[in-house]
Structure 1
């Protein structure tokens, strides 16, 4: 019931997006505009609000942060390596790696943590969001920009990727939020309300766009890659987190349980929106939807594993 409460709303919003797009109530050509709204407007405001409100000194658990970051690095390498062996594009490998590592910690993770680890839920999700927004998303966007370099020299590709990265609204939001958090400054009431209002639209609109992107998706051409994304995210990533948690010195049972459950969550709903500018949005939409549905079973299994280990 716990997992259903977190996953069913996700599936219903995606289904609504699919139905309204399929029936023509919402035009298919409007989906990219929604996706860009998520990445350029709603998500930056959400990131700013989340990070600016966090006291970094209160949410730092080195072992937890290290395990999550290492899992990301390993899954990114796995995605890129698979894409080369399977003769896929570099962008497919990058977003496959991102889809097998970054997690839906806010929309699904937080409700689950509130029930399983209520005293640690805020800290666990806060730390995950810091890694997502400071490391995972910027690094992945840099790799995607680097892959788009075409025939230009390596130096020019890196310069262009860095230039595009530091002017990206998501990165600007992260840097601004860190400055606000460190300085202790608080936004005036009106600006805080605007930030919160726009940020709260991110999850719902992102899920709606996934439904719209599923319309016309050629599953025959993406089926194998989608299967890899599902197995990688829901089986391999949490297994790596479990092994790393056991090896990481100084981790307590609660933080070990939290990082395994975190890595067992499906990919975040903004993944297709992030992939839009690189032509991988439809594959990412299918991967996120498949992961979300399969995670009914796999999340229950991983919760059972950490419970059997005495970590819950």
Structure 2
């Protein structure tokens, strides 16, 4: 394993381990996790994301690496629906197989490993990640739910869900979001040619610097407090698809698109990130496979401590 992989992953592993210890020792209790999550997503993430994009010109952005990511994700999503069937469970598992933890783990890891240039590539993906995957999942889930409800609804009876309203709400929530909004606002600010005043930039920078350690410790705390239970075998399968199959497909499509170097490397690493916690929120909301999704998130995150090091070492050769 090369020095870049070790130096990038070691702080990540240590901070997650510190959080895990805090959770196991009950220094941070389960009822405090939501408050910590709000601290990370509502207070620390927006300044970091806004500042990272505040100097990026639109002509610097490249969508071809992002296209490789989403083509691979779309293929896995469709294959999962064929495998598990077009129903709520199938859609949620398809989302689990494709939705990366790009914020809590991805930003910290890519920032450490690939610096500001890598962050621009990752944030380009993040600006579309939830918008594309969560909105698509919402539409498919609502269609699956309507299909499941159809036999219980008499022809012409009230009860059909307003699909257009659901899609518009999903789009709005994906854009007006503590992750999406500062990325878009930072990019818009950059196009003005202005600079953030030093007196304002300093506290923004300090808040952004606090994001990575707190977010990674929160991952460890969550791991310590979340039981895997009887679902670990199925969870291992879904974690393997997310952590290994997804990045392999992104690498294949990226090479087919003529991509090389840092943009492709960052996309492959992003695809190898563990399952994002938003998938569990969908499982809760639609009341399907909650235990399996929880176990899959945990197993995928633990597996990533090893699989990420392998993927990063291989991706560095692309």
TM-score range, shorter chain: 0.7 to 0.9
Kindly state the Cα deviation for residue 166 of structure 1 after the two structures are TM-superposed: 3.5
1:41-190 correspondence runs (5 A): 41-60=43-62, 63-78=64-79, 84=85, 88=89, 90-99=91-100, 104-113=105-114, 122-132=116-126, 134-143=127-136, 152-190=161-199
Q: 1:5 maps to which residue?
A: 7
Partner Cα separation in structure 2 for residue 80 and residue 199 of structure 1: 38
Hey, what's the Cα distance between the residues in 1 that align with 2:267 and 2:180?
A: 27
* Runs of 5+ consecutive residues of structure 2 not aligned to the other structure: 146-159, 285-289
Alpha-carbon spacing, 1:86–1:289, altered in 2? closer, same or farther (3 Å)? farther
Q: CA RMSD in A?
A: 3.5
Q: CA deviation at 1:234?
A: 3.6
User: Highest CA radius of gyration, 1 or 2?
Assistant: 2
Q: 1:294 aligns with which of 284, 307, 312?
A: 307
C-alpha deviation, 1:31, in angstroms: 0.9
After TM superposition, the score normalised by the length of structure 2 is 0.75
Kept in 1, the 8 Å contact 2:97–2:241? The answer is no
Asked whether 1:219 is paired with 2:228, we answer: yes
Q: Structure 1's 125 and 11: CA in aligned 2 closer, same or farther, altered over 3 A?
A: same
CA distance in 2, matches of 1:198, 1:275: 27
TM-score (normalised: structure 1): 0.76
**Conserved? CA contact 2:19–2:220, under 8 Å:** yes
Distance 1:71 1:43, change over 3 A: farther
Following superposition, the deviation at residue 169 of structure 1 comes to: 2.2
1:233 corresponds to 2:249: no
Change (3 A) 1:161 1:63: closer
Q: Once the 2 structures are TM-superposed, how far is the Cα of residue 26 of structure 1 from its aligned partner?
A: 1.7
Alpha-carbon shift at residue 256 of structure 1 (Å): 7.5
Cα distance per residue 1:194-227 (max 9 Å; x no partner): 3222222222222112222123433234424532
Q: Distance in 2 between matches of 1:37 and 1:145?
A: 26
The 3 A distance-change label for structure 1 pair 141 and 187 is farther
Aligned to 1:116: none
**What does residue 26 of structure 1 align with?**
28
- CA pair 145-32 structure 1, distance change in 2 beyond 3 A: farther
- Mind listing any 5+ residue stretches in structure 1 that lack a counterpart? 114-120
Inter-partner Cα distance in structure 1 for 2:87 and 2:20: 30
Residue in structure 2 matched with residue 254 of structure 1 by the alignment: 261
